[in-house]
Every structure is written in C-alpha cells, then in structure tokens.
Structure 1
Amino acid sequence: MNFVYEDSVDPDDISRTVKEVVEGVNVFKFIDFSHRNSYGYDGVKMLECVLLAFALNGYASTRELEDLCKYDIRFQFIMEGQKPSHMAFHRFIHDDLRMSAEELFVEFNRYFESHDQIQTDILYIDGTKLEANANKMTFVWMKATKKFREKRWKKIMGRLMTFNAYCKQEGIPLRFSILKEFSFEYLIEITDRIREIMNRQGIEEKRGKGQRKHPLQRYLEGFEEDADKILKYTEYYQIADGRNSFSKTDHSATFMHMKYVYYNHTNVFKPGYNVQMGSSDGYIRHVHVSSDANDMNTFIPFLEGYHMSYGEYPEKTPADAGYGSYNNYSYCKEHGIELYMKYSGYRKEQEKLSDKNRFKSYRMKPNEDGEILCPAGHVFTLEWEKTNTKGRYPRTIKFYRNEHCDGCPFRAQCTRSGNGRTLMYTEKLDMYQKEVRENLETAEGKELMKQRSIQSEGIFGQIKQDYEYDRLWRRGETGVKLEILLVSMGHNLRRYHNRKQKSKVKIQA
C-alpha cells in the first residue's frame, strides 16, 4: 500500500531528492548489509530516513527518528509504513554507518558534482569550536597534574626516609633506596614487602573506627595511596598525549576558549572540538575534527585528508589569518596551491602610517639593497642566523640588532632594551607574505575573500544558528566525526534540493 503514502508526498518534496541521491549512489559499495537479519529493516531505507531527518532538522536523535517514522508522512513513504524503534536506528548508525560515513560523504559529493555546477578548484576553509558532550567541571589540567605529581613524589621520598628510620629503630631487616624518578612498579614492590613482613609477624590489618592500627599498616596504606596517585597521574599523561587539558567524561575533548553570549561573558573554557570545514559553492566538501584549538596546526592535516578523499588538491584555499604560517605557505607551494590565506599582521599592514605604528617590526623590511632601516634611518646589523627544524619545513631565521640607538631621539618610542632594538627576520616567509598581499589586492582576491565570508561563515551560521546545532551529542573523536559527517550530508542535501528547485523555476519561467 505504499502508493497511499506516495500520493500524499509532494513531487517536489526534499524526501524525493534524498531518495534520488541515495538510489543514484551505489551505497552497497561502502556499507556492508550482509550481517543484517533477513527479517530486519531495509538498510537503504534506514539510510534515507537518517539523511532526510538531518536534512530537515540539522540534527536528529534516534528518538526523534522513531517519532518521525510514526507521525511524518514523508518517513512513512520511505519506510513503506514500517516504524523502526530508536534502538533499530541506533544499531544502524553505530554498526553500519560508523566506519563508512566518510566514504559515503565523498561519494555523495561526487554525485552532486555530476548533477550540479560546483567549482571544486576553490576550497573555502574555516573552523569553529563545538562544545563536547562532557561536563564542564570534569577538566584535567596537565600543568596542575605535573605540579601534583612532583609534590606527591617528594612526599613519597619523605615517607621512605621515615620508614627506613622506623625499620632501623625496630630492627626490621628492610631498607628501600631513595629514587629520584617516578616508578609505579617500585611502589608496588614496597607494599608487597611490607605486607610480607606483617604476615610473618602476625600483624592483622584493622579497619573501622576505634581500631588502633599498627605503624606498619599505616605505612602500607600510605604507600598504597601513593601508588594509586602515581598511577592516576601516569594515565592522565597517556590520555592527554601532549595536550594541555582534557575532560574526564570525554578524553578526546580539550578545554578551549569559546564564545559565550549570555551577559556578554567571554574567555569561557569549555570542553570541545575544533571542527574544520572546506566548502565549494555552498557544499561542504571536507570535514576535519581535531582536539587542537589552533587552526594553524589543522591546515595541513585537513588538506591531506582532502587529497586522500578526492585524489587532488584544490588550486586556491581562501582562509582567514588563523591559517597563515610559514609551514602552511610552504605546504601550499609544494602542492601547487595559490596563496590566499591571510597572516596575523596583514590587517595591521593595511593601516595608514602613523606615529603609533611606524616603530612596529612589520614596518621595517629590507630595501632594494637588502638593508633594514629603522625610522631614524639607521641600518640594522646582522648578528647571527640559525636554521629552525622544529616545524614540518626548515626555515632560516636572521637576528638583527641596531647599534645606533644610543642618543637616538626616537629611542623611547622604539625600544626599551638597553642593548638596542632587535629584529628577527625570515626572508622566505617575507616572500610568501608579499605574494599573499599581491594576490589579495587583485579583483579576484577581493572576490574570493568576500565569498569566503559568505560561504564558509554562512554554512556555520546555518548549522549553528538556524538549526540550533551548537553542541555535540556523541563522545570520542570517532563518534564526533560520524555526527559531523551526518550533519554535513544533511546540509549538502538541502543545498542540492534548493538549487534543483531554483533551476526548475528558471526553466519553467
């Protein structure tokens, strides 16, 4: 009786667009339905329901999916009257979509490319921070952990010295060496040896109030507490993996500065993820989820993932000043990507020369003779240069000092150093920044940056403001990536449907 539902759904409804896209893509190539029971729900129809719900609502929980299949005629049309439970949708998303969502996302984008005009050589990149599904007060700060760990070890060393003195006084043939490094195994060995002596002497461990504990039992409990603390701190270091913080309820989430509108509070720390999105003509082309709050460090992994998905690099990647760095520029030059990413001092350089900014370092560049002059006309002297190999690409840094600061009338405005004004200069970075300025000052560059604001920030505005999706629901980097991919697929389906309807109206007109 599916014709009853089909007649009730408008021919131009988005549900028919979702069915068109899913049926136009070979989903069996990416999703293995062989493990599903023969009497279970059809996997393709379940996928259509999930994508339709995300396209309509921005985000949909499994409970909402269950209700939509009961009361929405469009979902009844897709499921042919069947009403899956929320657990059926949970099993489908967790078991069938979890590992194949990214490949499916790319295949849908290839379908959109073949049925719509998308300028894929331009990729507008922007990032946003989304709050994780983790309690705010479950943070672990690694700087504090390091301090507590060192204090605990000093306490352990003090306890060891008093324990050795006690053993010598009581004639117990036991002595432990004082170690200067952290060792959980050493603490376990200490507790085992103390327990052996207590058993040999017939000392019973007493519990509860009013029970007088033997000194050996007190030492044993103290060392056991120390072992638990050291083990906990070791686990924290393994979980953090170089980060400065994490949440106890979502170990992959990092505490980041987030915008907070209520009463205009700012500098609010919340556990979250840094979500990077690249878009072309309003379609989300690639997604990267990171625990690193700095956009500069996510640029190269983002483009590596894009290349892995599509087999090519974009020709232009317009982005804001958060992405402009020596490593990112070098990566773009290596892979033939034109430089359209601003750098941190770009906006300041566009300001008119004044007494306030004439002494800034970005105003002092080498002239045609390769000399760097200060505002008073004195030449900087090259003192030393070194090659920095910490980043992905080595760079040569030159250190300059001005030896003419004594007696200069502008010294108070220029520097407070007693040894004269200093500068650090990287010639290659200056060349990259010059190329960026030239590209952005052209008519094409101005249009690209204008479109970047419209498209990249517009997508985040639609997702976060229009559809009120500003907080993650799944935990862990894998679960968050799955959730963001589903939200992105829903956005792309809406975009494709709207453009298809507009083209129909133009043809009819």
Structure 2
Amino acid sequence: ITERMNIGKYVDLSSRRLHGHDAMKLLRCILLGFADDGYISTRKLERKTRTDIRYRFLTGNESIGHSSFQRFMQNDLLHPVEDIFYELNDMIHHDDRIDIAADILTIDGSKFEANANKNTFVWKKSTKRYYMNAWKQFINLIGRLNAYFRKNGLDVFYSKIREPNPAYMLEIADRIEKYMESSEIKMVSGKGNKKSTIQKMYEEMKSLCIRMYKYMMHFDILQDRNSFSKTDPDATFMHMKWDYYNHTNIFKPGYNVQFGISGGFIRNILITSDGNDLPTLIPFLQKYKDRYGKYPSIAVCDA
C-alpha cells in the first residue's frame, strides 16, 4: 500500500538528513500502530520496534527511539493519518474488493467513554441558574454602590439594566480603586483590620467578575450541548451501556462514534459530541460525499 502512495503528499522529505531514519520506515510503523491499536503512543511505538517481529520487519531489524517518531509526526507529517485512511479505501475500491455496483453503506455507531474524570461535569441548566444568581447579586451590588456614592455627595451612578459583562465590571472596579486612592482609603487585610464598606464592595465586584467570566467561558464551550467535562471539554455526558462504578445507567463523559461499512471494510468514520444518533446522519453522509465524490446508493441504518 505505502509503495503505491504518493509519499510526498503526506511527508515532508526535505529534512530527512536531520533525523537519521528513513521516512517510509517511520510512516509504516505509525500506520501499523494506528491500525493495530487505534491509538498508539510514541513510547509504545519504540517498544514495538524492539520486541514485535512485524515492526522489526518494517524497520529492517532496526530499533527506533520515541523522539524520532515524535519529531517525524510533529515536523514532517503534513496530513492527519485519517487522510491516509481514505486513500487506502480508494486503493481497495480500485482493486475491486468492494462491490462498487451495489455500493451499500451500513451505518451504525456506539458511545465510547472519554479519558476524562466523570466528576468534572458542567451542566448547561446549572450554569444558567448560577449566571442568573450572579446577575441578581450584581444588580444588588450596583444599588448599594449608587447609594454609597450618593450618601458621600458624589455624582456617580451606574446602570442596573446593563448586562454585567466582565469588561463593564472591571471598569467599575478600576473606578472604585481610583476613588479609594483619591480619598486615601487604604486597603486592609488580615486579623484585627476592619475593612471599609467601599473595600468590601470592591472585593465583591472582583469576585463577581471572576464568576461571570467563568460562566461565559462555559457557555462558549457548551454551544448547543447540554454538558461537557472540565478535563476534556469536547466530551459530552451520555448514558453508557456499561457502568463499572456501580452497574447503574449513569452519565459519563464520552463521544458518539459512527461507522460506515461497505463490503466488510470501514469506509467512513464520524466522531461527534451529540448523544443522539439522529442528527449525525446528515453530517456523516456529507463527509462520505466530500471524501468519495458521491453519496452511497443505499444507506442501511437502525432506528
């Protein structure tokens, strides 16, 4: 397969002298590793080239260090391994191993747990509730600030209607800080030091600003999803078929992986964060068309 590929399309051959290893050997080991394990680390690739007879055959009985694989993938591999997967499929197609006339694509998928802690979830409904509570606290704080400045004879008024975005809140905090400097009100901390009313409101404003910024970041990550994991923001919490914690159907962070099979060969793969299979059909078939230039004549799916 690799001898029939246009290797220059995938590998930058200009800096080969700097690494000391043949590009084809490195590429073949990486392809075999991904085909064998699905995902393989550079450390494991190094061990394989020392102990596995298949890798020894590909390298010409040579051991290759993990740093060589790392440099090759980072600096010289021009396209992701997935692109090579589709070129491989084209070769299989041209070899008539798949019945092109029938062109039946069978689609099915499953949910796979992400490598993320299950206790690091962020829920959209909860974030909305926390955001609204923080907004109410901000309105209350603005009312107290306006009352404080009015009491001290200052013509300062801040709007309660304006949405409390972090830039607006930091602007208010900076103005409070300048007022404290001009009025010679010192910032105090520690036991035995009583904070002034304006310092308490200043610190509350800073704390609210951090909270609002955090919630806005969560909304930006969530987009149309209902949840995500802090240790893997792309993962969504889904119901899994098997739970190794207490054998109940609880939520765990994961991905919805859809496969398209034709003639016994994997023809297309789509990894999504959508817990429902229904919205994945159109993007799955669109990806198939983008890769192969046409839709399958028949697509077989479950409910």
Q: What is the TM-score with the length of structure 1 in the denominator?
A: 0.56
Structure scoring higher RCO (CA < 8 A, sep ≥ 6) equals 2
- 1:162-311 residue pairs with structure 2 within 5 A? 162-179=144-161, 181-262=163-244, 265-311=247-293
Residues 57, 291 of structure 1: alpha-carbon distance in 2 compared, 3 angstrom cutoff: closer
SS of 2:267's equivalent in the other structure is strand
1:150-201 residue CA offsets vs partner (Å, 9 max, x unmatched): 0110011111112222222233443222125343222112101101100101
Partner of 2:32: 52
> What is the alpha-carbon distance in structure 1 between the residues aligned to residue 126 and residue 243 of structure 2?
29
> What is the alpha-carbon distance in structure 2 between the residues aligned to residue 41 and residue 300 of structure 1?
43
2:93 is aligned, of 79, 99, 113, to: 113
> What is the alpha-carbon distance in structure 1 between the residues aligned to residue 251 and residue 197 of structure 2?
45
1:25–1:111: 8 Å Cα contact kept in structure 2? Answer: no
> What is the alpha-carbon distance in structure 1 between the residues aligned to residue 169 and residue 36 of structure 2?
58
Residues 319, 134 of structure 1: alpha-carbon distance in 2 compared, 3 angstrom cutoff: same
Deviation at 1:39, TM superposition (A): 3.8
Residues 246, 36 of structure 1: alpha-carbon distance in 2 compared, 3 angstrom cutoff: farther
Partner of 1:348: none
Residues 96, 280 of structure 1: alpha-carbon distance in 2 compared, 3 angstrom cutoff: farther
> What is the alpha-carbon distance in structure 2 between the residues aligned to residue 155 and residue 242 of structure 1?
27
1:17-42 residue CA offsets vs partner (Å, 9 max, x unmatched): xxxx2112223223333345444322
- 1:61 paired to 2:41: yes
Structure 2 residue runs of 5 or longer lacking an equivalent are none
Letter in 1 for 2:222: A
> What is the alpha-carbon distance in structure 1 between the residues aligned to residue 222 and residue 267 of structure 2?
30
1:31–1:100: 8 Å Cα contact kept in structure 2? Answer: no
- 1:43 paired to 2:50: no
- 1:17-28 residue pairs with structure 2 within 5 A? 21-28=1-8
Residues 98, 226 of structure 1: alpha-carbon distance in 2 compared, 3 angstrom cutoff: farther
Partner of 1:33: 13
Letter in 2 for 1:122: I
1:129–1:273: 8 Å Cα contact kept in structure 2? Answer: yes
- 1:93 paired to 2:73: yes
> What is the alpha-carbon distance in structure 2 between the residues aligned to residue 126 and residue 306 of structure 1?
14
Deviation at 1:116, TM superposition (A): 4.8
> What is the alpha-carbon distance in structure 2 between the residues aligned to residue 61 and residue 48 of structure 1?
15
Letter in 1 for 2:152: E
Q: What is the TM-score with the length of structure 2 in the denominator?
A: 0.91
Cα RMSD after superposing both structures:
2.1
> What is the alpha-carbon distance in structure 2 between the residues aligned to residue 136 and residue 95 of structure 1?
34
Partner of 1:319: 301
SS of 2:3's equivalent in the other structure is helix
1:40-79 residue CA offsets vs partner (Å, 9 max, x unmatched): 3222211111222344445433222111111223322222
Deviation at 1:80, TM superposition (A): 2.5
Residues 57, 229 of structure 1: alpha-carbon distance in 2 compared, 3 angstrom cutoff: closer
> What is the alpha-carbon distance in structure 2 between the residues aligned to residue 256 and residue 77 of structure 1?
42
SS of 1:82's equivalent in the other structure is coil
What percent of counterpart residues are identical?
44
Partner of 1:161: 143
Residues 48, 293 of structure 1: alpha-carbon distance in 2 compared, 3 angstrom cutoff: same
